[in-house]
Amino acid sequence: MMDDWIDYYDSTHTIYVSKLHRDVHFRQIAEDIAGYIPSPDATVLDYSCGEALSAGRVADACGRLILAEPAPGVRGRLIARFAPNVKIRVRSLDDLRNMEENSLDLAVMNSVAQYMTPQELDTALTVVGRLLKPGGQLVLGDILQPDVGMAQDVIALLRFALAHGFLADALWGLARTALSDYRELRSKIGLRRYSEAEMIGKLTAAGFAASRAAQNIGHNPSRMTFVARKPG
């Protein structure tokens, strides 16, 4: 399941309706992630980070930022974009398996779980759990709920667009998306959804003490964010 989505995001896709949409999307995510950083010298992992255009904002708030990205084309752009920033390092997901145990203060997986099978997510949680220091946190954001459909996503996008001045582009982009590879792929393999209780149970089974955050990361309030602490 995840491989299909990796291929999609590594292609020339139209998930963002405009450059402004893309820029404010990544800026808000970066600001939300920065709010979870526990100290200025913290080591932070952004797992499956995507283009991470505003990662510099996150790096400004921590000591070291690791951007882990599975799509090779995206990873190459990240390396080129952030090469001058000595705080940022770009890695593949496979590289994480060779990282030092108990080396992270914070890990973030935002808008990732919906593209994974439950087994893929369990594997990722195991990898992250090994890397986190005792007492370190995993923030799992943008979790889709079973009873929340595409209509809520559309409403959230339009409100976000209205607030940031790209409403006309959003309306045109929604029409374009209805005929796009994204809509076809979403219909074909779907997106994984979890109830609050299911996600708490999954995180607990992975060894974390977890709770739902008051607000979701990003612009969509109908989705959920969870904060999971490694014991110790």
Whether residue 10 has pLDDT greater than 90: no
pLDDT digits (tens, 9 = 90+) for 44-63: 999 999 999 999 999 999 99
| Residue 102 falls in which region: left (phi positive, over 0), alpha (psi -120 to 50) or beta | left
pLDDT band, residue 186 (cuts 50/70/90) = low
pLDDT at 38: 98
pLDDT digits (tens, 9 = 90+) for 105-121: 999 999 999 999 999 99
Q: What is the percent of the chain with per-residue pLDDT over 90, rounded to a whole number?
A: 77
Q: What is the mean pLDDT of the chain?
A: 91
State the residue for tokens 């005792």.
134
Find residue 209's DSSP bridge partners: 229
How does DSSP classify residue 37? -
Q: Can you list the domains of the chain with their CATH numbers?
A: 19-146+192-229 (3.40.50.150)
Quick count: other Cβ atoms within 10 Å of Cβ 183? 13
Residue type, 198: E
Pick the closest to residue 47 from 116, 100, 102, 101 (CA basis): 116
Q: What is the pTM of this model?
A: 0.90
To the nearest 10°, report the CA torsion of 151, 153, 158, 163: 140
